[in-house]
Amino acid sequence: MNDSSTAATTPDRTEVGSYFVANYPPFSTWTKQGVEGVARPALALPPGSLDEVPLGLYLHIPFCRKRCHFCYFRVYTDKNASEVQGYLDVLAREWELYNEQPAIAGRPLRFVYFGGGTPSYLSVRQLQSLVSRLDAVSSWRSADEVTFECEPGTLTESKLAAIRGLGVTRLSLGVENFDDAILEANGRAHRSPEIGKAYAFARSLAFPQINIDLIAGMVGETNENWRVCVQKTIEMAPDSVTIYQMELPFNTTISRNLLKGGEPVASIPGVDGSVANWSTKRRWVAEAFDALEAAGYIIGSAYTAVKNPSTKFIYRDRLWQGADMVGLGVASFGYVNGVHVQNFDTNEAYTASIEAGVLPLARALRPTDEEKFIREFVLQLKLGSIRPSYFDRKYGVNVLERYRHQLDTLAQDDLLTEENDRVSLTRAGLLRVDSLLPRFFKPEHTSVRYT
């Protein structure tokens, strides 16, 4: 990466392409050859020392009422009840196949994450049947955390009660925005009245943690609307708030429209159809963090605020520290015994593989020890700070020496400080952390397509 000042190397306009750093090395470096070369051999290894590594489970539920215009995940909006049930049957069978692998068999689950898509799209019967099958193979009743993503308009009192009965410890409501016109412009299925109803139902069931998601910079966002969204969130007093800055990966509706020279979305009366630039989105998140702190929240990462300092995000923290995770479902990602894997990204290929009794792995990569260190270093920075002594003990790497030039450059731009075995991002650095991380990548990874 160019070593001149950060301001000079980071474009302000929101261009098409991935911004959020979720893993390392970049997904585009994972290969089909790696499936037979490293992934299947890794799964065939007995647990051994893996017993000391936490194991998690991610379930991709790829169904939605509508596809959001900024969504880049593998989702389906045209499946009937029979097709949905067929997918869930295949998902359960995939978990059975994983538990036949020596690297997984007999290991307890420490965290579980229902993601999507929209997990709450499923009916109560479908949810209970799926969990019953999964639980029969390997129970998660002793898991430290079970997270469940929801779209407010899919929730009823009976469905929320069923979700609570599954042992869910964190309910995450995909609110994103409170303005109906903005929700419509961005392709969201729910509307503002459904948010309050769903939240009230959830509170009445005493979920241990309720999280609200917001997105800064949705199409049509304004200064006034953003302030209203933040204030309404504070008034609801969720246990945690997650705020993302909207990006435009290649396979979103908005990106495809822009690449064709069109407008981001179809015109909606009263809504500005432009996409905010990065400096505006960072300012909005900064304003939200300031307001949340004034209301008693604590900023816990580049994206999260919590009411109680003891609140944990176990899925995030364990994964970023190198935990194993089995990813079930079409296009899902996982990490087992030192190998990154991803499933086939079409339902047809995914289903055919499992029906043949073969795990549906499409690409894989075994990172080197150096790449494992870099992965954890950059992901931990997203929490706001790291301790050099931790990386010295775990990896034998002196990060202050290895990254001396990068750290000095960030410090000169007032994006980072160093003091008493802690390297910390300033608030300005935290708000743009994903744009800073590639400077810590290996040179061959700084210019490749991330996905």
Structure tokens at 306: 């919590």
Phi, psi of 13 (to 5 degrees): -70, 140
Res. 269 pLDDT band, cuts 50 70 90:
confident
How much is the average pLDDT of 386-410? 98
Residues of the chain with CATH 1.10.10.920: 1-24+369-451
From CA 341, how far away is CA 164, in angstroms rounded? 31
From CA 185, how far away is CA 298, in angstroms rounded? 32
Q: Average pLDDT over the chain, rounded to whole?
A: 94
- Residue of 392, 428, 400, 379 whose CA lies nearest to 24: 379
Structure tokens at 58: 């991610």
Cα 58 to the center of its chain, rounded Å = 11
Q: pTM here?
A: 0.94
Res. 270 pLDDT band, cuts 50 70 90:
confident
Q: Which of 44-48, 336-340, 349-353 has the lowest mean pLDDT?
A: 44-48
- Residue of 59, 71, 58, 285 whose CA lies nearest to 174: 71
Q: For residues 430, 27, 6 and 285, what is the CA-based torsion angle, rounded to 10 degrees? A: -30
Q: For 1-24+369-451, give the CATH class.
A: mainly alpha
How much is the average pLDDT of 395-411? 98
Structure tokens at 103: 């690297």
Q: Which of 267-271, 303-307, 339-343, 409-413 has the lowest mean pLDDT?
A: 267-271
Place of tokens 């246990």: 239
pLDDT above 90: percentage of residues in the chain? 88
| pLDDT value of position 273 | 86
Model confidence pLDDT, tens digit, residues 24-49 = 999 999 999 999 999 999 999 986 65
From CA 119, how far away is CA 217, in angstroms rounded? 25
- Sequence-ordered alpha helix ranges (H) in 46-144: 81-98, 124-137
Q: Could you tell me which residues come within 8 angstroms of residue 63 by beta carbon, excluding any fewer than 6 positions away?
A: 75, 76, 77, 79, 84, 87, 116, 117, 118, 121, 122
Q: Could you tell me which residues come within 8 angstroms of residue 290 by beta carbon, excluding any fewer than 6 positions away?
A: none
| Amino acid making up residue 406 | Q
From CA 234, how far away is CA 232, in angstroms rounded? 5
| 146 in Cβ contact with 315 (< 8 Å) | no
Model confidence pLDDT, tens digit, residues 78-112 = 999 999 999 999 999 999 999 999 999 989 999 99
CATH of domain 27-319: 3.80.30.20
Strand partners, 424: 385, 417
From CA 115, how far away is CA 106, in angstroms rounded? 24
What is the edge-to-edge ordering of all strands in the sheet holding 416-418?
385-386, 423-425, 416-418
Q: Can you list the positions of beta strands (E) in 191-236?
A: 209-216
| pLDDT value of position 3 | 37
| pLDDT value of position 266 | 86
- Residue of 116, 117, 146 whose CA lies nearest to 131: 146
From CA 423, how far away is CA 112, in angstroms rounded? 31
From CA 330, how far away is CA 344, in angstroms rounded? 6
3-state secondary structure of 150: strand
Place of tokens 């109680």: 308
Q: What is the CA radius of gyration of the chain?
A: 22
Beta strands at 361-365 and 339-343: parallel, antiparallel or unpaired: antiparallel
- Residue of 133, 124, 178 whose CA lies nearest to 152: 178
From CA 33, how far away is CA 77, in angstroms rounded? 32
Residues of the chain with CATH 3.80.30.20: 27-319
- Residue of 346, 386, 382 whose CA lies nearest to 362: 346
Phi, psi of 325 (to 5 degrees): -150, 130
